[in-house]
Amino acid sequence: MNKLRSTLPLMYFLICMIMSGCNGEKTPTVITRHEAKYPEIRKKYLYQSVIRLANINHDPAFDKLIKDVHKIIIYLPPREDSTYQITEMRSGMRADGYEQLVDVRTKDEARVSLWVNESTPQPHYMGLLDTPDDDYIFEIDGQLNLEYISSLQMADESSLLNFLKD
């Protein structure tokens, strides 16, 4: 019995260490609220190997931009909801501490914006893609090397958009 009592603090410590290591990245509040409003949202995951397909010109700056990106989580619009919009996401992101880094229109009239929240231990990046047909939210798991952000101009976004089609 004494032996068991002496090992209990060690076991408790080990369990606490294991449990703290199991906590993954927390979903941003703005996403949680949006998913509650639209429970039919679907997710797709684009891993770095797939993201590299957008680098059709083999631009080394693009590779450096995404070097520390593990994956991008795409939140797809609900299939049956023709009223789905992401416009309230902008104000929700501002309220959650995100700052807008980029807001551009593409040649095919899509609006792309990239946001960062630097109040977290690691900067957290999210984006919005508002196309004439659908609206998408994307969350970046990992870090962007913002020194190379201009390399996005040379990326072929149509190759990535093809992965979003069901």
Per-residue pLDDT of the chain (166 residues), as tens digits, is 454 444 444 343 334 333 333 444 567 889 999 999 899 999 999 998 888 888 888 889 999 999 999 999 999 988 888 788 888 898 899 999 999 998 888 777 888 899 999 998 899 999 998 888 888 999 999 999 999 888 877 676 666 666 666 5
What secondary structure letter does DSSP report for 139?
Answer: E
Domain holding 134, by residue range, is 26-164
Q: For residue 7, is it within any domain?
A: no
In a domain, 19, yes or no: no
- Confidence (pLDDT) at 10: 39
Report the alpha-carbon distance of residue 158 to residue 164 in Å, rounded: 10
Residues 6 or more apart whose Cβ sits within 8 Å of residue 149: 65, 101, 102, 114
Question: What pLDDT score does 101 carry?
Answer: 92
Q: How many domains does the chain have?
A: 1
Contact 64, 77 (CB under 8 A): no
Looking at residue 86, its pLDDT comes to 87
Bridge partners of residue 76, in order along the sequence: 42
Residue 12 lies inside a defined structural domain of this protein: no
| 76 lies in some domain | yes
* Domain assignment present for 13: no
Q: At what angle do helices 29-37 and 87-95 cross, to 10 degrees?
A: 150
Report yes or no on 17 lying in a domain. Answer: no
